[in-house]
């Protein structure tokens, strides 16, 4: 904190005191209200504190996630933190739950039926699980017949991933095959069962992949 202008130090100390007891990210607006300063000053203070922690190689860092600021342990010391919390760690999400959560994250707002159509299986149980864990929540209703409940991700989801908003999610294009690969797969799948897959198609699919 020594790098901060002298007149900022009391405000920076008050900001640290709030963040260290907060159980979730605190919005800049609330911090500004509590400290009786502008939002711009809050952002400047947080930036200065973050830089100071990095220069001092502290075991914690100040980050902005889910639209707010929080203090958290530094990723470099994750192994030590994991040892400490391992006994109290909740059960991991199953592959089906992670898949459903990814669908909701990228397709939100989305209904249970739409999730089921994408996954090919009933999604009611998994949606209930994700809701109980606090990762998804109802965000509205569909305008169509039945007015199905639409689900989206929560601030806790962003917090757990260390994201400020869903706009920070990696682009889906990183995980989707390119057009050439899809076309090669379609050619292979259209091949009759009576006719073995042509070597040219198989080689071309491998080359295009």
Chain segment 53-89, per-residue pLDDT in tens: 999 999 999 999 989 999 999 999 988 887 776 655 5
81 Cβ contact partners less than 8 Å away, ≥ 6 residues apart: 73
Query: Domain ranges in the chain?
Result: 6-78, 95-170, 179-208
**Average per-residue pLDDT in the chain?**
83
User: Beta-strand (E) ranges in 108-177?
Assistant: 110-111, 136-141, 149-153
Cis peptide before 131 (omega within 30 of 0): no
Q: pLDDT, tens digit, for every residue of 184-196? A: 666 666 654 444 5
Whether residue 175 is predicted with pLDDT greater than 90 in this model: the reply is no
Write down the pTM of the prediction: 0.51
What is the SS3 assignment for 36?
coil
CATH topology agreement for domains 6-78 and 95-170: yes
- In this predicted model, which residue has the larger pLDDT, 168 or 181? 168
In CATH terms, the fold of domain 6-78 is: Arc Repressor Mutant, subunit A (1.10.10)
What is the SS3 assignment for 178?
coil
* Banded pLDDT at 18 (limits 50, 70, 90): very high
The domain over range 95-170 is classified in CATH as 1.10.10.10? yes
Whether residue 36 is predicted with pLDDT greater than 90 in this model: the reply is yes
147: left (phi over 0), alpha (psi -120 to 50) or beta: left
């Amino acid at each position: 904190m020594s790098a901060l202008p002298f007149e900022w130090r009391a405000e920076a100390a008050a900001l640290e005191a709030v963040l260290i007891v907060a159980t979730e990210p605190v919005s800049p607006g609330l911090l500004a209200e509590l400290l009786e300063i502008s939002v711009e000053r809050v952002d400047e203070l947080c930036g200065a504190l973050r830089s100071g922690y990095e220069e001092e190689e502290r075991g914690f860092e100040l980050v902005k996630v889910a639209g707010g600021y929080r203090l958290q342990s530094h990723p470099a010391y994750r192994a030590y933190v994991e040892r400490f919390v391992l006994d109290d760690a909740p059960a991991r999400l199953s592959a089906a739950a992670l898949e459903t959560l990814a669908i909701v994250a990228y397709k939100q707002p989305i209904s249970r039926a739409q999730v089921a159509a994408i996954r090919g299986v009933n999604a009611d149980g998994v949606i209930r699980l994700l809701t109980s864990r606090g990762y998804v929540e109802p965000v509205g209703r569909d305008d169509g017949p039945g007015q199905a409940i639409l689900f989206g991700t929560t601030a806790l989801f962003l917090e757990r991933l260390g994201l400020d908003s869903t706009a920070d999610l990696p682009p889906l294009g990183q995980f989707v095959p390119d057009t050439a690969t899809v076309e090669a797969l379609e050619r292979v799948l259209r091949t009759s069962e009576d006719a073995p897959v042509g070597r040219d198609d198989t080689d071309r699919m491998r080359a295009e992949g």
